[in-house]
Amino acid sequence: MSVNRHWARWIFASVSKHFDDRKELLPLYIEGQHRATTKPQEYLELRMDGPKWNEASKGYFIGDVQINILITSALTEEDYHRPYRAAGQVQEACTQTIEVFRFGDGPEDDQSHLGCLQLKQDRAGQDFIELNWFGIIDTNDALVQATVEAHYCITLCP
């Protein structure tokens, strides 16, 4: 057996839908998706690394996925906490599980449930829902950036 050619696409589609359904303060873009760049904007940008597959035993695959969301938000005289609110909402969206479905419009994409991504939180301190601040990226527009990163794993059998 080998890794199913559709798993990565289904996982990415499911992760994208999961975070898009939970956005509140700022619009969400998927990395590479077109968006206006002519003026300063506030937005979230979703990136996913992986899955990295390990065949733990014959036909039994464990995949690791890293989810990274870039937050670009404005500091205003009225609300210096706005970037922190946006970051908190993204961290809250990093739920314990993310349901994975066979999303798409091909014959293999029957919309059925494939499995669950499980949030990895190691007691030894290796995995967290991590928030990293980059600070002000443009002094003219008072935009700040941060990222929220979370690691997940999924077990699949073809």
| Mean pLDDT across the chain | 88
pLDDT band at 126 (very low <50, low <70, confident <90, very high): low
Model confidence, pTM: 0.89
7-31+40-156, what's its fold? STM4215-like (3.30.2000)
CA-CA-CA-CA dihedral for 10, 146, 87, 149, to nearest 10: 40
- pLDDT exceeds cutoff 80 at 40: no
Average pLDDT over residues 104-110: 92
Domain spans in the chain, listed from the N-terminal domain onward:
7-31+40-156
| Per-residue burial over 90-119, b = 16 or more CB atoms within 10 Å of its CB, e = otherwise | beebbeeebebbbbeeeeeeeeeebbbbeb
pLDDT band at 90 (very low <50, low <70, confident <90, very high): very high
Share of the chain above pLDDT 90, in %: 61
